[in-house]
Structure 1
Amino acid sequence: MRGHIKQRSKGSWSIIIDVGRDPQTGKRRQQWQTVKGTKGDAQRELRETLHSLERGAYVKPQKVSLGEYLKQWVESYAAIHTSPRTTEGYRAIVHRYIVPALGGIPLCQLQPQHLENYYSGALSHGRLDGKGGLSGRTVLHQHRVLSEALSHAVKQGVVVRNVAEAVVPPRPGRIEMSTLASENVPRFLDAARRTPYYVLFYAALYTGMRRGELLGLRWCDIDLGRASISVVQTLYRLSSGEFVIKEPKSPHSRRLVSLSPSLAKLLRGHHAEREAQKALLGERLAGSDLVFAHPDGSPLDPSTVSHGFGRLIRKAGLPHIRFHDLRHTHATLMLKAGVHPKIVSERLGHANIGITLDTYSHVVPGLQEAAALRFDTLLEPETAQTEVR
């Protein structure tokens, strides 16, 4: 089977493939396809199309656009095979970013250069509020969604290849981590006492649990006798207002977290308070009841909790941190206190210790210095003391 390319205009090429002669008229038949990009892009597309035809895997170009396909993929595939929250995220990426920028391109004509140009523009001026570009991490996430959708298109025989695989996505930059300094912890807890979320904020700081894990915590998940928490579910709220409870984000996120004596004591008091609130409503506190909830037992809105945390930080005059930064604070303070990184990793629910060490690399140099000093003290105590002085 033979074929060739022909330039139509600048940046536009036609792929012409000879597909034999019409058995009735004897006239030569040709398959035409338009490719946007360079001459090299057109030649590469020609080779891949000829190869697909030879193996019987050629998919005749369809008129469906990338935007039409992505919308259909989100609703008919992603909505069935992913969690409601993941589907909601995919839908937002497709409708807010990819469709407005690339949606009009015919799916069969999508080229790597389309994606490269889009990523470059998104990084420089892709924010919806017009205030500059998107982060590398955000654009990388968009790339992954697009690649997943195109991989499905290949499996369904809609296109021959996933063009996203030919594109090198942006590298996510390292996130500057903000934590609560140890000397500011008493000030933070004192301010937290004057909010309805004192026990919740205390638990976040003293366990390193994620917001959704804490809001999904039930009394049956807490063993006050053994001073431990079993992390078995997480709670979040969809944009529709619906609360959803699901299993933790990964198998390693299902874990046992030991409680400090002070947190165990605080939770006992919180349990007694919740029992009293239930009694006023003529009910009894059940093991399945949420630990952190409204007086009537209904779930707390995660966004409301985060906003309340932000107000606390501002009123207390503390450096800006997010609710999630209490998790980073917990890990950082534990590592600085000499707790083995493996233990910290288990408490956080990381898949492996490497993730913990990479995430908290800012603490590692200090651990190295402390370890060197301990070793010196072990073998040459007098020399070590002299050096310290």
Structure 2
Amino acid sequence: MEGSIRQRSKGSWEITIDAGRDPATGKRQRHFESVKGTKRDAQQRLHELLLSVEQGVYIKPTRISLGEWLGDWLNSYVATNCSLATIRSYETEVRCHLIPALGAIPLTHLQPQHLQSYYAHALSQGRVDGKGGLSARTVQYDDHILSNALSHAVKMGLLVRNVADAVDPPRPEKKNMATLLPEDVPRFLETAHETPYYELFYTALYTGMRLGELLGLRWCDVDLDMASLSVVQALYKHSGVCKMVRPKSSHSRRQIALSPSLALLLRQHRGEQQARGILLGKPLADTDLVFCRTNGKPIEPAVVSHTHATVLKKAGLPHIRFHDLRHTHATLMLKQGVHPKIVSERLGHSSVAITVPKIGEGEEERQLVAMAIILLMLNTNGSFGDITIGEGLEEMAGVIDQERIRNLENQIKLLTPKKP
């Protein structure tokens, strides 16, 4: 097996390898490739090519570019395996950022330094409007898209390895999610009562459902007698058109238990819709939407988001997104000692690891509870030596108000293993 390197110009090298004979024609195969960089870069690429020939995984180079492959990948794999929201998001990133910067590079010539250079450039001046760079989170998302696309190219036999694995994308600064404080919830709901969407806001806070899931909820999905509902579809809007789609994953298709107050509220809401339907000469059907306009058509998501912002402003509360009501629901449940696994299932997350890191409020409480449980497991009388649980918590965390101590005590009692 032979290979050679020849310098073509400053910073440019030509690699030649003997790839053996074509099994079909018996003709000798030679591979030529240009590498930009140092001689060491060229030697490393030559070593990779020779190793692929030796291991029998050498792939004959094609003329397809990275841009062409990204387009094929979007149309074939992504279009059939991802949700509509993910498809649109991927298409936007590929069209606006990845193809303009990297699309012309031949797929088989793509190197880690190409990606690393793009990430650095995108952070400093990657915006389409020319007004600065992209956020670290957006560049990390671009890396995620490229990694997935290149992994699929490896599976399809177009590449030997995924070069994105050798690149370190920027790490965005971790931020705690914004939520309503427990004492802010009554004020928010009181103000929301003046809007046509009070029942929707109440359901969002008490179930943690996504906006699209709420707007896609039908009466046949709600069992008021059993106080539960099933998430089986969601409203999705693109290019001005609303359509109902299946939730993005099997975990999103879930059943959620309703609190007595929410079940009662929805029963009253259904009664009002039935009465309005009789007046309009259109009786309420099981397939009708729970939250809709007076004519039964879906509510525009932007209208709900705008009303939500107005309610917060009128109530004198800090601005948070409608989606943050979902985080509020999770935070309140975790603070009350509900197991993270149960919270994760209610939210439709595939893993508890997705749920807990998103919740900023309550982290200190969870750490205190964990420490308290460890200490309690070392004692036989269920206390911190000769002091009570509350006194022990105060010793660990300084001054804690009595209501917080009671909440923490309840969490500890629920989670502490009982001694035989």
TM-score bracket, normalised by the shorter chain, equals 0.7 to 0.9
Is the contact between residue 238 and residue 244 of structure 1 (CA under 8 Å) also seen in structure 2? no
Q: Offset at 1:308?
A: 2.6
- Which amino acid in the other structure matches residue 351 of structure 1? S
- Which amino acid in the other structure matches residue 334 of structure 1? M
Structure 1 partner of 2:214? 214
Once the two structures are overlaid, the 10-residue window that deviates more, 375-384 or 44-53, is 375-384
Post-superposition Cα deviations, 1:129-182, rounded to whole Å, max 9, x if no partner, equal 445433333222211211222222233333333222222233343233111122
Post-superposition Cα deviations, 1:264-317, rounded to whole Å, max 9, x if no partner, equal 221112111222332233222122222112222222232332233223323433
Q: Does 1:63 align with 2:68?
A: no
Change in CA separation of 1:47 and 1:265 when aligned onto 2, cut-off 3 Å: same
- Which amino acid in the other structure matches residue 93 of structure 2? I
Is the contact between residue 313 and residue 319 of structure 1 (CA under 8 Å) also seen in structure 2? yes
Partners of 1:355 and 1:141 in 2: CA distance: 16
- Which amino acid in the other structure matches residue 280 of structure 2? L
Q: Offset at 1:380?
A: 4.2
Once the two structures are overlaid, the 10-residue window that deviates more, 344-353 or 261-270, is 344-353
Partners of 1:361 and 1:332 in 2: CA distance: 8
Is the contact between residue 233 and residue 244 of structure 2 (CA under 8 Å) also seen in structure 1? no
Once the two structures are overlaid, the 10-residue window that deviates more, 340-349 or 115-124, is 340-349
Change in CA separation of 1:382 and 1:7 when aligned onto 2, cut-off 3 Å: closer
Is the contact between residue 37 and residue 113 of structure 1 (CA under 8 Å) also seen in structure 2? no
5 Å-filtered alignment, 1:23-42, equals: 30-42=30-42
Once the two structures are overlaid, the 10-residue window that deviates more, 265-274 or 346-355, is 346-355
Change in CA separation of 1:31 and 1:331 when aligned onto 2, cut-off 3 Å: closer
Q: Does 1:257 align with 2:256?
A: yes
Q: Offset at 1:59?
A: 2.9
Structure 1 partner of 2:109? 109
5 Å-filtered alignment, 1:1-389, equals: 1-18=1-18, 30-239=30-239, 241-246=241-246, 248-360=247-359, 362-369=361-368, 372=372, 376=383, 380-381=387-388, 384=391
How many correspondences in the alignment? Answer: 382
Q: Offset at 1:84?
A: 2.8
Q: Offset at 1:354?
A: 4.0
Partners of 2:31 and 2:245 in 1: CA distance: 52
Post-superposition Cα deviations, 1:208-243, rounded to whole Å, max 9, x if no partner, equal 112122122111121111222222332222236241
Q: Offset at 1:112?
A: 0.7
Once the two structures are overlaid, the 10-residue window that deviates more, 103-112 or 300-309, is 300-309
| Secondary structure in structure 1 of the residue aligned to 2:251 | helix
Partners of 2:123 and 2:264 in 1: CA distance: 49
Is the contact between residue 137 and residue 172 of structure 2 (CA under 8 Å) also seen in structure 1? yes
Partners of 1:76 and 1:353 in 2: CA distance: 31
Change in CA separation of 1:173 and 1:244 when aligned onto 2, cut-off 3 Å: farther
Q: Offset at 1:204?
A: 0.6
Q: Offset at 1:97?
A: 0.8
Once the two structures are overlaid, the 10-residue window that deviates more, 194-203 or 66-75, is 66-75
Is the contact between residue 215 and residue 235 of structure 2 (CA under 8 Å) also seen in structure 1? yes
- Which amino acid in the other structure matches residue 140 of structure 1? Q
Partners of 2:57 and 2:31 in 1: CA distance: 15
Q: Offset at 1:2?
A: 0.7
Q: Offset at 1:325?
A: 0.7
Is the contact between residue 289 and residue 298 of structure 2 (CA under 8 Å) also seen in structure 1? yes
| Secondary structure in structure 2 of the residue aligned to 1:165 | helix
Change in CA separation of 1:69 and 1:351 when aligned onto 2, cut-off 3 Å: closer
- Which amino acid in the other structure matches residue 142 of structure 2? Q
Q: What's the C-alpha RMSD, in Å, of the aligned pairs?
A: 3.1
- Which amino acid in the other structure matches residue 119 of structure 2? Y
Change in CA separation of 1:285 and 1:377 when aligned onto 2, cut-off 3 Å: farther
